[in-house]
Amino acid sequence: MIPLQTGIPLRALAAVGCGTDPRAEKAFEWLLGVRLPDGAWPSGVQGGKHVFPAGYRRLAHSRYGCRSNTTFAVSALALHPTRRSSQGARRGLDLLLAQETLQAHTLGYEVVRTIGAERRRGFFTYFARHDAALLLDLCWRIGASQEDGRVADMVAFVKSLQGPYGLWEHPGHPQASRWVSFDLLRSLSRIDESTDWVSQEPRTPFQAYPKEPRRY
């Protein structure tokens, strides 16, 4: 059982407006039913036991939570007209925001991949890169506000990268800069300063591969 095998097609169906189809709704219910007690989605189940995710896919404050599976699930829920504000979507986003990684060179990577300028590759590794633009898109769709310090820091980080002409230049694919800029401007204009968003995750340092303490 691997949640992203359902999350991938659900994300596509919701993106084209078919998220409320009865068959899609049944899949959404299944997806929500396989969440972990902490609200994350696991890498999968093998032999009746949850599989530990690789370090780069670990979620802060979740033992078995997988960032790839959780991102696919939250992305699908964020595109649904009513489930986008559900407790499942909010809790999943809260866990994703707990891993505070801001990288300039991966900003807008999901947009560049969506328009076809970047190759789609990977399965579990699909979300190996940390894309702040993707998280900002999820924030305004699900309802996270800038009252959350993590969201406010992300907004400030993105604004600091805006070029002198108002665009965000993409170094690897300059032709995609206007699409990345459109996506970021839309997110920045729709993220509210205050909503009923409440985070349950404390701000704590996170390492994908923490160093083990020496025995002596």
pLDDT in tens, 92-135: 999 999 988 899 999 999 999 999 998 888 888 999 889 999 99
Residue 203 lies in a domain: no
Residue 125 to residues 68, 104, 112, 158, Cα–Cα distance (Å) = 7, 19, 17, 24
Query: Are 189 and 118 members of one domain?
Result: yes
Residue 204 lies in a domain: no
pTM of the model: 0.90
Q: Which of 9-13, 40-44, 107-111, 198-202 has the least mean pLDDT?
A: 198-202
Same domain assignment for residues 17 and 90:
yes
In a domain, 207, yes or no: no
In a domain, 134, yes or no: yes
Q: Are residues 157 and 94 in the same domain?
A: no
Which residue's entry shows tokens 């649904």? 80
Q: 3-state class of 175 per DSSP?
A: helix
Same domain, 107 and 180: yes
Same domain? 83 vs 113: no
Backbone dihedral region for residue 167 (phi beyond 0: left; psi -120 to 50: alpha; all else: beta): beta
Task: Output Rg (C-alpha) for the chain, integer angstroms.
Answer: 17
Q: 10 Å Cβ neighbour count for 108?
A: 27
Domain C-terminal end among 50, 73, 99: 99
Question: Per-residue pLDDT for 206 more than 90?
Answer: no
Residues 77 and 108 placed together within one structural domain of the fold: no
* Separation between Cα atoms, residue 85 and residue 143, nearest integer Å: 7
**Does residue 200 sit within a domain?**
no
pLDDT digits (tens, 9 = 90+) for 82-99: 999 999 999 999 999 998
Domain match, 42 and 86 both: yes
Residue 208 in domain: no
For the chain, the domain total comes to: 2
The answer to whether position 46 is within a domain reads yes
Domain span at residue 120? 102-195
The reply to whether 68 and 108 lie within a common domain is no
